[in-house]
Every structure is written in structure tokens, then in C-alpha cells.
Chain A
Amino acid sequence: KAGVTQTPRYLIKTRGQQVTLSCSPISGHRSVSWYQQTPGQGLQFLFEYFSETQRNKGNFPGRFSGRQFSNSRSEMNVSTLELGDSALYLCASSRTSGWEQFFGPGTRLTVL
């Protein structure tokens, strides 16, 4: 069974630009969650989508948004990038939700 895939793996952007990250969950998984990982803050929850609906949201500004498609694939968008947005963005999928999550390898975003 194929794991969670994320594209692209690496991105370099400049301040003020916007970026879209993509995540394909494990087949049959309907829940997709996004996390931001930084050395100082660990894994911080951004949002969760289930059946194309945002079900949970973390404490991030409105510049961070996402969506989920009918095939459960998900995208995350960050507008007006700031230097502090440099991080590893991880996508995780699960059948419904909960503690057993399957993570992708992440997208390393660098904002210059």
C-alpha cells in the first residue's frame, strides 16, 4: 500500500509570495491533517480535513488555508509568506481521525 505522498519536497520562496503544497493520503483514508514543524516549536497542528470539510483548525493566521478534494487529496496554501513561515510542512492521513496518523515525508519550505 502506497504511503502518504507530498509534493513538492522542497520549495524556496521570497517574502510576500504565496505557495501551495499538495498531499495525497493513503488509499481509503478520508482524514488529512497538516502540521508545521520547526526546531523550536515541534509539531504544530494547522488543520484537519475530512470528506472535503475542514473539521478542526489550529491557531494559525488566516494566511494559512487548505482544502480537500473528493478523492481525499488535500492542498495547503500560504499567502503573503513571511520569513517565520520557513518550516517543514507535514501532511498526515488516517481513516477517520485520531491518534493513529500516517505522515508523509514533508515539504521543506524556505522563505527568503
Chain B
Amino acid sequence: QQQVKQSPQSLIVQKGGISIINCAYENTAFDYFPWYQQFPGKGPALLIAIRPDVSEKKEGRFTISFNKSAKQFSLHIMDSQPGDSATYFCAASWAQGGSEKLVFGKGTKLTVNP
């Protein structure tokens, strides 16, 4: 099943709080799990990515947690700021026919209140 299920659809967090977005997948052939961030009027931009043989990756306030056995991964945003308000997409890639394919979750609209 070449899809990624993302939740929640929307999320409201207070400034300084922790934002958590979850994604689940079925296809064990996925070989990379990136997260993209999209601000209004802009295209998505790569935020952080993780390989399935790594359980956690941290970049600044952003952390991906990966649970291979549960086929789930999540994005944690620590000390959330109003500037983090954006739509976040999880994604998964896999190799097929000599190229890498990419599928996206449906997105989570994050609002961080000041």
C-alpha cells in the first residue's frame, strides 16, 4: 500500500508547547521518511528526514521519532513558536523501476498561539 496516513488534520498549540504530528505506513519497502513544511503562499520545503534504521533524528527544535515495528513515525516540535505555524507533510520514498518515488501524507495545519 503506497500511502502514508497522517494525523491530526489540524493542531493548535500554545507558544512554548510541544507539537506532535503522527504518520503511519504499511509498505515495508519505504526507504526514507522526510518531513516537509509549507507556509502560506509558498511551496513545501524539506524540514528533516530519517532512514528506517534510525530510531530518532534531531535538528534544533525538530525531532523525528521512528518506530519500525509499529510502522509509525512522528514529528515533535519542541518549544513551539508562532513562526512554526505552517502545514506539515510527512512523506515516504521507495525505489521502483530505477527511480525513487515519493508519497505524501495529507498534511497537518499547525497553529501556534502567542
Query: Is chain B a partner of chain A in the same complex?
Result: yes
Give the B-binding residues of A (Cβ under 8 A).
4, 31, 33, 35, 41-43, 45, 48, 50, 55-56, 90, 92, 96-106
Give the A-binding residues of B (Cβ under 8 A).
32-34, 36, 41-46, 49, 89, 91, 93, 97, 99-107
Provide the residues of chain A in CB contact with B49, threshold 8 Å.
99-100
User: CA A102 – CA B34 in complex, angstroms?
Assistant: 12
Q: A42-B107, A100-B49 are in contact. Are A4 and B43 (CB under 8 A)?
A: yes
Provide the residues of chain A in CB contact with B41, threshold 8 Å.
105
Provide the residues of chain A in CB contact with B105, threshold 8 Å.
42
Q: Determine whether the beta carbon of B106 is less than 8 Å from that of A98.
A: no
**Smallest distance from the beta carbon of A10 to chain B beta carbons, Å?**
11
Question: What are 13 A-B pairs at a CB distance below 8 A?
Answer: A42-B106, A43-B44, A43-B104, A45-B102, A90-B43, A97-B99, A99-B32, A99-B91, A99-B93, A100-B49, A101-B46, A104-B43, A105-B43
